[in-house]
Amino acid sequence: MSDGSTSEALVANLRTLLAELAPGDRVPSSRELINRYRVGPATVSRAIATLAAEGAVVTRPGSGTFVAARPTGPGSGAPDTSWQAVALAGRDVDAAAEPSAPLPGGGISMAGGYLHASLQPVRALGAALARAARRPDAWHRAPVEGLAPLRAIFARQAGGAVSAEDVLVTGGGQGALSMLFRAIVAPGGPVLMESPTYPGALAAARAAGLRPLPVPMDEAGIRPDLLADAFAMTGARLLYCQPTFHNPTGAVLAPERREQVVEVARAAGAFLVEDDFARFLGHGQAVPRPLVADDRDGTVIHLTSLTKPASPSLRIGAVIARGPVTRRLRAMRYVDDFFTARPLQEAAIELVSGPAWDRHLRALSASLRERAAALADALARQVPDWRRTRHPAGGLHLWIHLPPGQHDAAVADAARAHGVAVDRGSRFFPAEPPPTCLRLNFAAAADLAELAEGARRLSVAVGEAMS
């Protein structure tokens, strides 16, 4: 578990403890908290600092930490915010896309879509940020399109005829996805998506007032024949898909289908948003060219990011588009956030331009391959009736089909009770009733031993869920 999530879990535990104490009572010492919750001194210090900033505790050097006096008098009770239910009516946001609460100390995460801190290039990131901060123009305003060297880097990664002028630097992939949906489809309009698909895309579409509609996929990716039917039936002007290391299934769109899918979208007069989030998460095999590299007329809008292979806090991504839609996207940047923070852009340039980045990607590829195999083997031993449709050649996840009688919510809840976080498969489907599935992240745990222990706990949790 990351330091941040451990600290958040400790804060939650301490809030429960404070509720049982009276104002002026002494909070257990740092040593007692370390022993009780099995955390490090730095975690305790961060948690106490958070509670002090909230006014929940008072620290007295040399004496300890004490429960702060609670507010009294008129207005000190719980505020009445019930009026907001009326004011917010009709603008629901999909809460299913929100990350689950952090596990307490000793928990094992197989949820989410990020690397464990041990897999992140922390030293290279720190060095890149330090070098970027020393540049004399590091804090100048950045161009709305992004810094020219970074745009050139993303253009080279895409390949083909893509140029730096086609690139718009964004603050990560999720915000860019939200911008794309709002820019292309009017509220109430349909957007086609693979089924299953990324929950963040579902949430972004619904928040924009759009209607996500499913297009079935198989082992070779989205089905072009059913995609053509979906365009014809719905009149949709946008397809969102993940052709390479699809989240959650790990599928790679088959070579013979790649041009077909683009041609179907082109014939429908529609855009195809290619979410290429996992380009740097391959497990050692060759990664197919992006669809945008062979696009002739602006049908494909390419979305990529450095966040997944680097760090959740390196919120740097890019949208590659051609034609009038680029002017609309540029205009929307002025509405949303003007530009992406220049220091982060400078740090990204420093990071990916040096030899440490290539070394990191090679090491990451080997680690992901090893972890995927280790978790698959552990699950085969511990829960042999769980089925995988494929062994992924890239990405961060295993997509698991549960046997009859096991339900994703019950298994996920039982797993959490045993200190393991997993993602329910029902979150990944746009519309139709989903099969019973789980998504397991083999890159979120600390090491191979945690993955093996997580699989053992899942076996116990399944036994309890079925009893």
The domain total for the chain is: 3
Angle at CA of residue 9, ends 7 and 14, nearest 5°: 90
Residue 87, domain member (yes or no): no
Note whether 145 and 255 are same-domain residues: yes
The answer as to whether 76 is a domain residue is no
Residue 257 and residue 371 share a domain: no
The CATH number for 388's domain is: 3.90.1150.10
Give the whole-angstrom CA distance, residue 243 versus residue 197. Answer: 11
Tens of pLDDT, residues 6-60: 778 889 889 889 888 888 889 999 888 988 888 888 888 889 988 988 888 888 8
Res 337: pLDDT: 84
Tokens of 193: 């998506």
In a domain, 88, yes or no: no
**Same domain flag for 348 and 390:** no
Residue 272 to residue 292: CA distance in whole angstroms: 9
Among residues 324, 355, 386, which one ends one of the domains?
355
Within a domain: 95: no
Same domain, 227 and 345: yes
Last residue of a domain, one of 331, 355, 379: 355
User: Domain for residue 96, yes or no?
Assistant: no
Residue 290 inside a domain? The answer is: yes
CA 424-430-435 angle, 5° bins: 50
Q: Are 135 and 274 within one domain?
A: yes
252 and 350 share one domain: yes
- Phi first, then psi, for residue 428 (nearest 5°) are -100, 5
320 closest CA partner among 113, 201, 205, 173: 173
- 222 in the same domain as 194: yes
* Rounded Cα gap, residues 433 and 456, in angstroms: 29
Residue 81 placed within a domain:
no
Measured in whole angstroms, the distance separating CA 318 from the mean position of its chain's CA atoms is: 16
Do residue 210 and residue 267 come from a single domain? yes
331 plus 376 within the same structural domain: no
Are 381 and 328 in the same domain? no
Among candidate residues 355, 378, 401, the one where a domain is terminated? 355
> So what's the pLDDT on residue 87?
76
Is the C-alpha dihedral spanning 14, 15, 17, 18 positive or negative?
Answer: positive
Q: Are residues 113 and 141 in the same domain?
A: no
| Radius of gyration of the CA atoms of the chain, in A | 24
Q: Cα 164 to chain center, whole Å? A: 26
User: What residue ranges of the chain have pLDDT lower than 70?
Assistant: 1-5, 72-78, 90-92, 95-102, 467
Residue 160 lies in a domain: yes
Q: What is the pLDDT of residue 111?
A: 93
427: domain range? 108-119+358-466
For the entire predicted model, the pTM comes to 0.82
Q: What is the pLDDT of residue 1?
A: 46
Please tell me whether the peptide bond between 196 and the residue prior to it is cis, using omega within 30 degrees of 0.
yes
> Cα 42 from chain centroid?
26
Confidence (pLDDT) at 38: 87
pLDDT value for 53:
86
Question: Is residue 264 domain-shared with residue 318, that is, in the same domain?
Answer: yes
CATH number at residue 54: 1.10.10.10
Look at residue 88 in the predicted model and tell me its pLDDT. 76
Residue 60: per-residue pLDDT: 84
